[in-house]
Chain A
Amino acid sequence: DADVTQTPRNRITKTGKRIMLECSQTKGHDRMYWYRQDPGLGLRLIYYSFDVKDINKGEISDGYSVSRQAQAKFSLSLESAIPNQTALYFCATSDLGQGASTGELFFGEGSRLTVL
């Protein structure tokens, strides 16, 4: 089984619908992240969480919300999806701050979301 699991892997929805993308990890890491990847724009940070009680906005948080249900679970919600939220979404974990020690991020395999 993958260390970082994202569900669903693919989702097609309509404008205005509420969507939740879920992430679970077995790596035992405290820090979890949600990224969005778009062609020509690279990876952009949406939200990150350093522990269950700590949630922080990233570069592009507008239109998104998150919930850290447990150390191993971090979900991303789109309350009212719009077409420009069509993208590939990645969850990632790390065991230390990204600026300290290795700073390695471990990514899931991605959730492809299409908003019609």
Chain B
Amino acid sequence: QKEVEQDPGPLSVPEGAIVSLNCTYSNSAFQYFMWYRQYSRKGPELLMYTYSSGNKEDGRFTAQVDKSSKYISLFIRDSQPSDSATYLCAMGGGSQGNLIFGKGTKLSVKP
């Protein structure tokens, strides 16, 4: 079992839809959970960062961490065509000195 599992998609939704992106992980020592967004031909950029369990909201984006289930989610409300990108989960902490990335989910929001 890989340390971080992420469905690569692709995921296609109509504009205005609610999008749910998810990752599961196996290392219970992870404490830092992040979502990066990567536009085509660009490097990834940090979108959301969460420490330990709980929810974090930033505008249309909500990140959730459930450490008991080893499951993290990113929700996008009122999705826009500009949200079309690849979303990568990443996590680290504890004895793991470097971030472990998921494979990324490619999202397309159609007008």
Bound complex: CA A33 to CA B90 (Å): 15
Give chain A residues whose Cβ lies under 8 Å from the Cβ of B34.
103-104
Residues of A within 8 A of B97 (CB): 97-99
Which chain B residue has the least Cβ–Cβ distance from A9?
Answer: B41
Q: Which residues of B contact A102 (CB under 8 A)?
A: 49
Q: In the complex, what distance in Å separates the CA atom of A34 from the CA atom of B79?
A: 32
Which chain B positions have C-beta within 8 A of A74? none
How many residue pairs at the A-B interface have CB separations less than 8 Å?
61
A71 to chain B, nearest CB (A): 19
- Chain B interface, number of residues (Cβ within 8 angstroms): 26
Smallest CB gap from A102: residue in B: B49
Which one of A48, A92, A99, A108 contacts B96 once the chains associate, using CB atoms below 8 Å?
Answer: A99
Q: In the assembled complex, which residues on chain A have CB atoms less than 8 Å from the CB atom of B36?
A: 105
A40-B8, A42-B101, A42-B103 given as contacts; is B94 within 8 A of A99 (CB)? yes
B100 CB to nearest chain A CB (Å) = 9
A105 to B44, CA, bound (A): 9
Nearest opposing residue in chain A for B4, CB measure: A42
- The reply to whether B101 and A99 form a contact with Cβ atoms under 8 Å apart is no
Write out the residue numbers on chain A whose beta carbons fall within 8 Å of the beta carbon of B18.
none
Residue of A nearest to B6 (CB): A42
B99 touches A105 (CB 8 A): yes
Tell me whether A99 and B49 are in contact (CB under 8 A).
Answer: no
Instruction: Give the B-binding residues of A (Cβ under 8 A).
Output: 4, 33, 40-45, 48, 58, 90, 92, 97-99, 102-105, 107-110
